[in-house]
Amino acid sequence: MSQGKVPSPHFDDSRYERPNKGWLCGHTCEGCPCRIGPSPKGQCRATTECTPRLVLKPGETKGTWACTRQADWGGPCEPGPLPDGQCCRQIERCRPVRSLRKRRGLVVAAVLAVCLGILMIGLSWPLRASFISPRPLSEHHSGAAFARIGKNPADQGCAHCHGNANARFGELVFAAVAASRTSLRFSELPSGHPTDFSAMDRSCLACHAAKSFHHANVAANDSCSICHREHQGGGPMAAVTPANCVGCHGDAVQMAAAREKGRLLPAALLAPRLPPGVIVPPVPRPSTGYTEVITSFAVDHPEFRVLRDHIPDPNTLRFNHRLHLGGSDIPLVNGRPLDCAFCHAPDASGAFKKPVPFETACRVCHDLSFDEHNPGLVLPHGDPAIVRAFLRSLPVQYADYANRRLGLGGKDQIDAFVRSQVRSLRERARSGEDLEQVVFLSTMAKGPVPGIAGSGVVGRTRFSGCALCHQVSWRGGAAVPIVAAPRPPDRWLPGARFSHAFHESVACADCHAAAKSERTSDVLIPTQQSCVRCHSPNGGVADSCTTCHTFHNPPPASPAARTLATSQP
């Protein structure tokens, strides 16, 4: 135990002003407070300057009274005590004043009383809603439409989300303390609000029942209100900030925990949920999951995995972008060379491109006239069985062609035309089966043929065979050839959100390297760095996580949609 400082021998502890005193002598401001000071109730206890002492000398019986006034008060006074032993110098009584400690206590008590009164008045039912609301609610959680969602008419307004909003004052106090047992500690005050929002989350799930995080291997599910901040003002709800995402995805410890949790979960729970019928590329999930530490799209976001791992396009259609966009043998359409927009048209939403249809995009150049002597006689497209039936009914097809396109009306004329055309075709194909083999399996590209008037096409590609563009498997015989249907992926980045409508001002070639692609297996989506050119602080375009990624999987149903669903029979 350390040795403290010893006070001076001349220290008068009777005159030491202790800070815990509630009252001070009224003469303190004059520099001469009395030694005894006021009573605990603030009453002056001053009497005389000293208490005389009786001095008996040897042989004396009466003695004399001596003044005992201390030296700092002037020492013994000249008149001395009165004959009866009383001090001759009476101290003028004062009016004690409250100490600084006492005045502070009164101020604190007054403030507490005022605050308590304001709380009691403000939390009374008529004023409670407007008193406790920090700022207006967003348009999603306010208005008449939202008020009708609740099942209990009493649970409206604040009570729709805050279960204790309609409680009495005392119940509110207990509910506030129960939210966090340590919330009243001084050490907890700087740490912010309590983190237990389970009751609030239950209110959110009453409407947003489909709420779940974007991956099942999230180490710890945070509360809804951590990312979705309410009472920020009217209008749309405040958007989720990048800091909310980086709080987990930028934390190596949380990503490691998510990686370990993902190892124990079945693959079905970790697969992204997509709309029915949407085709995605066969990209397997990484063995460690998507748990890379990412703090910014422009700084450390990895390359899109389909490009990083060189995942090929599984589409079976044989197509050469470079040839079609810059080849010298490609005919002009309406006086212009082919461009991306001629084949790739936006869907109804404008976000994605529709599948390329043969009838409007391909047939204008790729004529299916298998007989070069009769260019108007074209094969059907789409079903190998129908194509085979067409070839096996050529006499009927030639007769119809002669009447419809050539204007031959007499039966003898039509029969003569059919016999001559069938004979000529067999001389070239040797037999009907050979003709089918050529139509389905030939891959020999042929030169252009003259364009058809009114089509806008200068020169058309001669038909060679289905296998020139399609993957065909057939061994002949009675079986119908199998032509693999082109099935290009609808979404190359199923975990991301994208819209071509927002990129109309950007040229296709700025993002897609189609002019250099010669194989169907080439994946022509933009690289991550090409996106960073715009989506970064330097590019000036939004680059937050929620710009491209949705947070919930699947997205939570809106209250309006849920109300409509429950109202339908």
Euclidean distance between CA atoms 283 and 306, whole angstroms: 7
Euclidean distance between CA atoms 314 and 201, whole angstroms: 43
At 182 the pLDDT is 61
By the 10 Å C-beta count (0-12 exposed, 13-18 middle, 19+ buried), 394 is classed as: buried
**Which three-class secondary structure string do you get for 508-543?**
HHHHCCHHHCCCCCCCCCCCHHHHHCCCCCCCCCCC
Q: Nearest to residue 301, comparing CAs of 313, 285, 290?
A: 290
Encode pLDDT of 89-112 as tens digits. Answer: 888 888 888 888 888 889 999 999
Task: Tell me 360's DSSP state.
Answer: I
What are the backbone dihedrals phi and psi of residue 400, each rounded to the nearest 5 degrees, phi first? Answer: -65, -40
At 153 the pLDDT is 54
Task: Tell me 359's DSSP state.
Answer: I
Residue 314 identity: P
Task: Tell me 62's DSSP state.
Answer: S
Q: Nearest to residue 555, comparing CAs of 275, 285, 141, 146?
A: 275
Euclidean distance between CA atoms 511 and 509, whole angstroms: 5
Cα–Cα distance list, 372 to 367, 376, 396, 438, 462 (Å): 10, 9, 18, 14, 8
Q: Nearest to residue 545, comparing CAs of 300, 305, 351?
A: 300
Decide if 55 contacts 68 (C-beta within 8 A): no
pTM for the whole thing? 0.67
Decide if 25 contacts 92 (C-beta within 8 A): no
What's the N-to-C CA distance of the chain in angstroms?
83
Decide if 294 contacts 247 (C-beta within 8 A): no
Decide if 280 contacts 491 (C-beta within 8 A): yes
Cis peptide before 554 (omega within 30 of 0): yes
Cα–Cα distance list, 69 to 33, 81, 179, 258, 286 (Å): 15, 10, 64, 83, 95
Q: List, in sequence order, every residue forming a beta bridge with 66; answer none if it has no partner.
A: 53
Decide if 322 contacts 515 (C-beta within 8 A): yes
Long-range contacts of 533-541 (CB under 8 A, 24+ apart): 534/506, 535/297, 535/298, 536/297, 536/298, 537/298, 538/298
78's tokens: 């000249």
Euclidean distance between CA atoms 457 and 331, whole angstroms: 7
207 sits in which H/E element: helix 198-207
For the chain, residues with pLDDT lower than 70 are 1-19, 31, 125, 149-157, 178-196, 210-212, 430-432, 445-461, 476-478, 553-569
DSSP string, 300-322: TPPPPHHHHTTPPP-------HH
119's tokens: 């709380």
Strands 23-24 and 97-98: antiparallel
Decide if 104 contacts 202 (C-beta within 8 A): no
